[in-house]
Amino acid sequence: MEDNRSQLQKDNDAKRHEDKLKQLAKQSQRRLDAQKRAAQQEENQLKALNENFENELKKAAKDVDASKYKTKSARQLINNFKHRQPIDKAFNNAVKGMFAKKGITPKKSITARFMDIKYNAKSSGKNSFGTAFKSSLNHSIRREKANSQEWWDDCQDLNMFYYDGKYYNNSEFEQIREEVYQTLTTSKDEDINNTSDAENKEAVKKYSKLRNSYKSKLLKLIPEHEEFNEIIKQLEIKDNKLFYSFTPSIQELTEKAKLILFKELDSIDMPDKRRESKKALLDSFISHRDSHIEALTQADDRVLQSTRTTLYVENNLKIPHSNQFVDLDQKQYIDCIRSFYKKNFPDNNLKLCCLHFDESKINPMVNGTYQKELNTGHNLHTIIDAQCNKTGKYNYREKLIEFARKNQSALNEKYGLNFNIPEDTNELTDKEFIEVGQIFQMKYALHLQVNLFKTKYMFNFVDEKNRQKHNYIRSMLEQHLPLELRDFNRQSMLLNTENELKENINTLDHDIQNRKDNITQLDSSVEEKQKEDKKLDKSIESKGEQKKELSSEIFGMLGKKDQLSTDIENLENKALEQALTKVDAWMKKIKNGKNSDGFTALSASAAVKAIDKLAETQPEIAEQVTKTAVTFEEKQEKAIEEHLKISNKVKSNIDYNSDDLKQIEENQKLCIHNKDPQKCRTCSAKGGTGSKFKI
């Protein structure tokens, strides 16, 4: 028995080692899962903080005075948040409805970003024409790179250009690249440095200052005379400010002022020279006033009205990298944009189109072969001349307002919006000019959907939530800056991508190292398991000896012994081993005739419990063990007392086959009670009342 317990201990140890191996694998997976959950939780927290910041910014924009912001882009950003109408939702829903109505499923839904950049006549500073526009043009025509990785050098042949009525591939355009640059910049440099404009600006500035100065002097001459002072003020009100002194209404006021002034000065005791000097102030004021009016009148003939005058408009249409590969024909792409401007802005020449397919997030050139499915992030730069091709005036702003007025009613009706651009003035409020831009965007997007994307792709505006994201806001603030001064340029995108890849590699390296450590632990455990297996092999060899300790009778009576041999030999069926051991112990007690011994009853109970335990998972095997016990009971010459029987106590019922029935019949013939089977519950198992088994 001591050897049995020792063997059972070894078996249990081997099982524990095997379980440990499985547990190590599970722990490794749980750690990985925990890391993923922690990363996701951190991402969610950052997202919540970011959304909170964006909401606060939007809330602040509603209340802030945009005029306090010094930069044009910052003012535009604040005004955009304050005044924009929800065109994204209206447009996106309408386009989705159009596809649904036609029963068409688009290849994919894509977004795009519009950047409408106006380059003005400012001659110095980072937003000047010489800095901002020339930097952008260098990028657009691929003339030179700034301090950023703006494109893939080996992908430039994928680009297409349109200039002066012709299409060019990259190699063709290279022949005229410098000519294009000089043509587009030189003409505007000449306008910015126009001598007549400069002289007129100086004259306006000079006479404006003199006019205001002499007005102040006149008001101080006789401050107590209200009528005189009122006349001087009348000359400077808005309705009279631009009328010359010879205009009858103005001449009447100046003559009246002169009479009052001369009369008052003549009544004051002062030297004649001083008196005449004071009287001359009125004539000087009138002269400077007329000179200022003349300078302002000549200003209408300036080439550029002010440094705020727009010289070029660049419309940058970007299909973001997040849309992945978008299959578009390049010439159709450019033709679509050309047709939009030809239809809606015929007085303003489209000077240049640059379609870039070389700014993909991942280089689509693989071993010298173009893999178009890898190409993402197409950009189209369109440069419009803000100077009217008929009058020579820089009139794009007025044309844009006129375009918005023309289309606002139809858009309001179709999309349920509330655009309201006044009909009688071009002096618009911030809110009205934001609406002008939105009307342009909607018409532009509709034109793209109908003429370019058609039913292949469904075009969507960036929704309100994504417009409020930090990166989007930063890009809006920086859109007027030269490329090299922007934080959100292509170089930063590639750097961020590289950092993300490095971070992913570091994470993978860390995971790989963890897995290596786990494998090392598993290898060590496997080695231990192999050692245990060797010990187990030795214990298996001794199993034959253990079997011999069991009664030869119990194995002889097992019905289908061959079916159990594998489990017994491998020591894998612990429940069976327990049942056989307990039944064997019970048999020995019965054979030794210890019916009155209390330990015999205990051994019967232990055997029953072991059989019932075996029946929970292996009912067929438990049935065979039970049959063996019943057969043993029936073969005894001396009847076994009821409380010592196993057959009366096990939970399961037994179905006997024909062989079992024959064995029972033979037992009945040998029984001394066969003349009266009802008196013997052992040999009357077939029909008696004592047995719990059904046959």
Render pLDDT for 33-56 as a digit per residue (tens, 0 to 9): 666 666 666 666 656 655 665 565
**Is residue 281, in this structure, part of any structural domain at all?**
yes
Residue where the block lists tokens 């019943």:
630
Average pLDDT, the chain: 78
Does the pLDDT of residue 488 top 70, yes or no? no
Tell me, yes or no, whether 340 and 358 share the same domain.
yes
The model's pLDDT over 611-636, given as tens digits with 9 standing for 90+, comes to 888 788 888 888 888 888 888 877 77
Tell me, yes or no, whether 535 and 561 share the same domain.
no
If you average pLDDT over each of 31-45, 453-467, 531-545, which comes out highest?
453-467
> 267-277: b or e for each residue (b if 16 or more CB lie within 10 Å)?
eeeeeeeeeee
Predicted confidence at residue 496, as pLDDT, reads 56
Contact 635, 685 (CB under 8 A): no
**Is residue 95, in this structure, part of any structural domain at all?**
yes
All residues at 6 or more sequence positions from 211 whose CB lies less than 8 Å from its CB, including other chains: 285, 288, 289, 292
Q: Which of 209-223, 414-428, 680-694 is least confident?
A: 680-694
Query: Which residues are paired to 166 by β-bridges?
Result: 163
Is the entire prediction scored with pTM above 0.75? no
Tell me, yes or no, whether 235 and 89 share the same domain.
no
Mean pLDDT along residues 443-458: 90
Tell me, yes or no, whether 178 and 207 share the same domain.
no
Q: For residue 323, how many other CB atoms are within 10 A of its CB?
A: 16
Does the pLDDT of residue 382 top 90, yes or no? yes
**Is residue 183, in this structure, part of any structural domain at all?**
yes
The model's pLDDT over 59-115, given as tens digits with 9 standing for 90+, comes to 555 554 545 445 565 666 667 667 778 888 888 888 888 888 889 899 888 888 888
Tell me, yes or no, whether 637 and 578 share the same domain.
yes
**In terms of pLDDT, which residue wins out, 649 or 632?**
632
Rg (CA), the chain: 50
What's the rounded Cα separation, in Å, for the pair 280 and 259? Answer: 13
Tell me, yes or no, whether 439 and 579 share the same domain.
no
Closest CA to 338 of 448, 438, 456, 175: 448
Indicate the pLDDT class of residue 695, thresholds 50, 70 and 90: very low
Mean pLDDT along residues 186-191: 91
Does the pLDDT of residue 380 top 90, yes or no? yes
**In terms of pLDDT, which residue wins out, 686 or 322?**
322
Does the pLDDT of residue 666 top 80, yes or no? no
Specify the number of domains making up the chain. 4
**Is residue 495, in this structure, part of any structural domain at all?**
no
Q: Which of 97-106, 131-140, 143-152, 165-174 is least confident?
A: 143-152
**Dihedral-angle region of residue 538 (phi above 0 means left; psi in -120 to 50 means alpha; beta otherwise):** alpha
DSSP 3-state of 320: coil
Does the pLDDT of residue 571 top 70, yes or no? no
Tell me, yes or no, whether 446 and 372 share the same domain.
yes
E-strand spans in 239-324?
Answer: 310-318
**Is residue 64, in this structure, part of any structural domain at all?**
no
Cα four-point dihedral sign 9, 12, 18, 22:
negative
Tell me, yes or no, whether 319 and 386 share the same domain.
yes
Looking at residue 147, the DSSP 8-state letter turns out to be S
State percent of the chain over pLDDT 90: 33
What's the rounded Cα separation, in Å, for the pair 508 and 487? Answer: 29
Tell me, yes or no, whether 367 and 388 share the same domain.
yes
**In terms of pLDDT, which residue wins out, 80 or 337?**
337
Indicate the pLDDT class of residue 508, thresholds 50, 70 and 90: low
Does the pLDDT of residue 559 top 60, yes or no? no
- β-strands 350-356, 160-163 pairing: antiparallel
Which uninterrupted H or E stretch holds 4?
Answer: helix 2-63
Contact 271, 236 (CB under 8 A): no
- CA dist 393 to 253, 266, 304, 399, 506, Å? 37, 53, 8, 11, 60
Contact 461, 111 (CB under 8 A): yes
Mean pLDDT along residues 144-153: 80
**In terms of pLDDT, which residue wins out, 652 or 418?**
418
Predicted confidence at residue 204, as pLDDT, reads 93
Does the pLDDT of residue 529 top 80, yes or no? no
The model's pLDDT over 589-610, given as tens digits with 9 standing for 90+, comes to 777 776 666 777 777 788 888 8
Tell me, yes or no, whether 233 and 188 share the same domain.
no
Tell me, yes or no, whether 202 and 244 share the same domain.
yes
Cα four-point dihedral sign 45, 51, 53, 59:
negative
**Is residue 55, in this structure, part of any structural domain at all?**
no
Domain that holds residue 434: 69-194+306-488
- CA dist 109 to 83, 104, 173, 361, 449, Å? 27, 12, 33, 20, 11
If you average pLDDT over each of 154-168, 476-490, 503-517, which comes out highest?
154-168
Tell me, yes or no, whether 180 and 207 share the same domain.
no
Predicted confidence at residue 420, as pLDDT, reads 93
**Is residue 225, in this structure, part of any structural domain at all?**
yes
Q: How many Cα atoms sit within 13 Å of 126 on the Cβ side?
A: 12
**In terms of pLDDT, which residue wins out, 503 or 381?**
381
Residues in the chain: 695
What's the rounded Cα separation, in Å, for the pair 673 and 678? Answer: 8
The model's pLDDT over 338-377, given as tens digits with 9 standing for 90+, comes to 999 999 999 999 999 999 999 988 899 998 899 989 898 8
Predicted confidence at residue 312, as pLDDT, reads 96
**Is residue 493, in this structure, part of any structural domain at all?**
no
Contact 313, 116 (CB under 8 A): yes
Looking at residue 178, the DSSP 8-state letter turns out to be H
